[in-house]
Amino acid sequence: MKQILLLLAAMLLCCCSSDSEVKADEPSHAGKTLVVYYSYTGNCREIVNTLTSQMEADVLEIQPAEKGQKYEANNYALGTQLLNAIKANPNNASSYPAIDPVTTSLDDYQNVIIVTPLWWSQMAAIMQTYLFQNASQMAGKHVGMIVSSASSGISQVVNDAKRLLPDATWMGDALWINNSNRSNKTSLIQNWIKTLNFAEEQTSMKEMYITIGGQTKSVTLVDNDATRELVAALQNAPITVTLNDNNFEIWGSLGRTLTTKNEQMIAQPGDVVLYNGSNICLFYGSSSWSYTRLGHIDGLSESELRTFLKAGQNNISVTLSLTSGTTAIKSVNGNRMEDGAYYTLNGVKVSNPSKGLYIKNGKKVII
């Protein structure tokens, strides 16, 4: 009897050790993740179900505004027509097919995984619409992609994604699931997840704040030379500028010149951009021009933006800063913050800091 009990105890210990080892190998996703998908035949929906069984993520399904369309009918006539319209004029919003309104805010997520079907070697037009409409909000996000096809290669889909999301940080290579490997999608997705460079929780160095008329709103910054230079300037002191209305934006001189990364884009409500290297533009409408992206004002509707930005007025005093005022650290001194660790400007300790502005040993530093 004693031998049986010892054998059972050994078996239990072995099982517990094995479970512990498996958990230790599981990837840690510090930032919040959103899975965005469109599924026409159901294959992408199955991929999303498998993906979310292996990692924690919220899910957003994109739906076309016109229901019941047969994109493959008549030798894929309608699907080809939609793709050709985008290809002919990719910077025009009217080139993209309408989709149902989306209420999920990308401000809540650091990581986004796109799951899309391939249509005749290109990204499905419905998913292209979503990415086109949300390009500015996805700037600086860590983005991964899974592409489902019958047999066609996915290189053009990857090109479409990079065209639509020029300022995204790609977490790794896209995963291709096709008819020949679809039965192995569980292991394929499991191994792919381990290769992804997930973002850490978003910290204050990726934000700046805009104050107008006593109201302060946060701006999620993209990561480029211009924003790094702007953050470096703001660490010394807030910058106050005077901006004027231009029917769809308020804009004016920043008082300094930043390194440009101009691109032809359609600025959307809430976008913050650099114009001609030395002018800052805050949008409550939209405009197509060559700008350098700086970021996006968080969480305001178009009507709320018009109120906050004082649309229709001139000589608007706008202050840019790295703190929201009341919660920021008033002093960088103190023993707690002189331990060699990195802290955000709001006093949160960061174990694995990435690029940005931090406090170390009581002083502000940029990584």
Residues 264-316: tens digit of each pLDDT: 989 999 999 999 999 999 999 999 999 999 999 988 999 999 999 999 999 99
Secondary structure of residue 78 in the 3-state scheme? helix
Residues 230 and 317 in one domain: yes
Region 191-196: mean pLDDT is 93
3-17, 44-58, 160-174: the lowest-pLDDT one:
3-17
Contacts of 211 (CB under 8 A, 6+ apart): 318, 319, 321, 325
Count of positions (residues) in the chain: 367
Secondary structure of residue 170 in the 3-state scheme? strand
Region 245-255: mean pLDDT is 96
Q: What angle do CA 299, 302, 308 make, to 5 degrees?
A: 75
Q: What is the pLDDT of residue 329?
A: 37
Q: What angle do CA 12, 13, 16 make, to 5 degrees?
A: 85
Q: What is the pLDDT of residue 136?
A: 87
Residue at a domain's end among 195, 230, 257? 195
Q: Is the pLDDT of residue 223 over 90?
A: no
Distance CA 164, CA 265 (A): 10
Classify residue 225: in a domain, yes or no. Answer: yes
What global pTM score does this model have? 0.54
> For the chain, how many structural domains are there in total?
2
Report the chain's terminal Cα–Cα distance, integer Å: 64
Classify residue 317: in a domain, yes or no. Answer: yes
Q: What is the pLDDT of residue 140?
A: 84
Residue 318 sits in a domain whose CATH number is: 2.40.100.20
Residues 215 and 314 in one domain: yes
Question: How many C-beta neighbours within 10 Å does residue 128 have?
Answer: 27
Q: What is the pLDDT of residue 12?
A: 39
Q: Is the pLDDT of residue 187 over 90?
A: yes
Region 166-191: mean pLDDT is 94
- Pairing relation of β-strands 122-123 and 111-119? antiparallel
Secondary structure of residue 28 in the 3-state scheme? coil
Residue 88 sits in a domain whose CATH number is: 3.40.50.360
Classify residue 22: in a domain, yes or no. Answer: no
Residue at a domain's end among 195, 224, 242? 195
Q: What is the pLDDT of residue 341?
A: 72
Distance CA 68, CA 44 (A): 18
Distance CA 189, CA 82 (A): 30
Residue at a domain's end among 162, 195, 228? 195
Q: What crossing angle do the helices spanning 125-133 and 155-164 adopt, rounded to 10°?
A: 20
Cβ atoms of 134 and 127 within 8 Å: the answer is no
Residues 70 and 189 in one domain: yes
By residue range, what is the domain housing residue 147? 33-195
- CB contact burial 299-336 (16+ within 10 A = b; e otherwise): ebeeeebeebbbbeeeebebebbbbbeeeebeebeeee
Q: What percent of the chain has pLDDT over 70?
A: 78
- As a whole number of Å, the CA-based R_g of the chain is 24
Residues 212 and 190 in one domain: no
Question: Mind giving me the DSSP string for 291-338?
Answer: EEEEEEETT--HHHHHHHTTTT-SSEEEEEESS-SSSS-S-S-SGGG-
Q: What is the pLDDT of residues 97-146, one digit of tens each?
A: 999 999 888 888 889 999 999 998 999 999 999 999 999 888 888 999 99
* Continuous segment of H or E residues that includes residue 287: strand 287-297
Q: Is the pLDDT of residue 171 over 70?
A: yes
Confidence of residue 200 (pLDDT cuts 50, 70, 90): low
Q: How far apart, in Å, are the Cα atoms of 347 and each of 95, 102, 323, 336, 360?
A: 46, 34, 11, 10, 11
Q: What is the pLDDT of residue 16?
A: 38
Contacts of 132 (CB under 8 A, 6+ apart): 90, 93, 96, 164
Cβ atoms of 344 and 358 within 8 Å: the answer is yes
Residues 221 and 164 in one domain: no
Q: What is the pLDDT of residue 199?
A: 81
